[in-house]
Structure 1
Amino acid sequence: MRERKIPLNLNCGLDLIGEVLYGKWKMRLLWFISQGHKRPSELQRKIPDASRRVLNVQLKELEEHELICKTIYPVVPPKVEYELTDFGRTLVPVIGALGMWGDEHEGRLRRVIGGTGRAI
């Protein structure tokens, strides 16, 4: 893992989940893997704005946090697939709930993120 400039402060569950899911594409990667997109090329197609390098780094971190496992098949060229672990599957309902919340509040979120207004 990378060396940290700022020490971890893991005082509560929100700190812990933030540490595990911090990264622009991690929740989407977990969601797409849960939907059956297991090959790196499939994941790249689902998230075209992310570079291959960034996706690989975030997949490696998800693997280190035991949310996904990687299988390398002994064929030429090598075939790689990702799968959720049992632990990773426990996050799918949480990610789904966050996605639904985002869908329900899409207009407001787009407005405040776009800087065109302020939520009250």
Structure 2
Amino acid sequence: MTDSFRNNVINKLQNGDFDCTKEFTVSMFSGKHKLMILWILIQEGPQSFSYFMNNLKGISKKVLSNQLNELMDDHLIDKSEYMVGRVKHTQYSMSEIGNTLVPIINSLNAWGEMRLNSVDIEKKFNR
């Protein structure tokens, strides 16, 4: 199930009633784990579903599946399937379009590091 913000943007796109690039952009990242999924793929390369399940704390299989499907629907990641013997494996990787986000996501991370270093953790979080 997608979130209501994303649904609203999709409905507007389908009705030809869409005119806000900011909403369109944010809709691709709405969802608790999407940026973390992209970060993992950027930093560690292609990964399996089970890798994400083991490394994204507190995510359910259903939510992970939905988040991956939405990222694929938006053409930000690709899914490939291959056989090893009789076992089918699935792997997710950054798409060509998704790779254009790498400098943006790296910049967000750098900003977050800078911001974290400027926040007085004691005063802010230990009240």
Match of 1:108 in 2: 119
Aligned residues: 114
How far is the alpha carbon of 1:84 from its aligned partner?
0.8
Structure 2 residues without counterparts, runs of 5 or longer: 13-17
Structure 1 residues without counterparts, runs of 5 or longer: none
Match of 1:58 in 2: 67
Superposed, 1:19-98 pairs within 5 Å as 19-35=27-43, 36-75=45-84, 76-98=86-108
Identical-residue share of aligned pairs (%): 28
Q: Output the CA distance in 1 between the equivalents of 2:95 and 2:27.
A: 18
8 Å CA contact 1:37–1:43 kept in 2: the answer is no
How far is the alpha carbon of 1:115 from its aligned partner?
9.7
How far is the alpha carbon of 1:11 from its aligned partner?
3.2
User: CA 1:86–1:105 in structure 2 vs 1: closer, same or farther (change >3 Å)?
Assistant: same
Scaled by the length of structure 1, what TM-score is found? 0.78
Scaled by the length of structure 2, what TM-score is found? 0.74
Hey, which of these two has a bigger chunk of helix by percent? 2
Q: Over aligned residues, Cα RMSD in angstroms?
A: 2.8
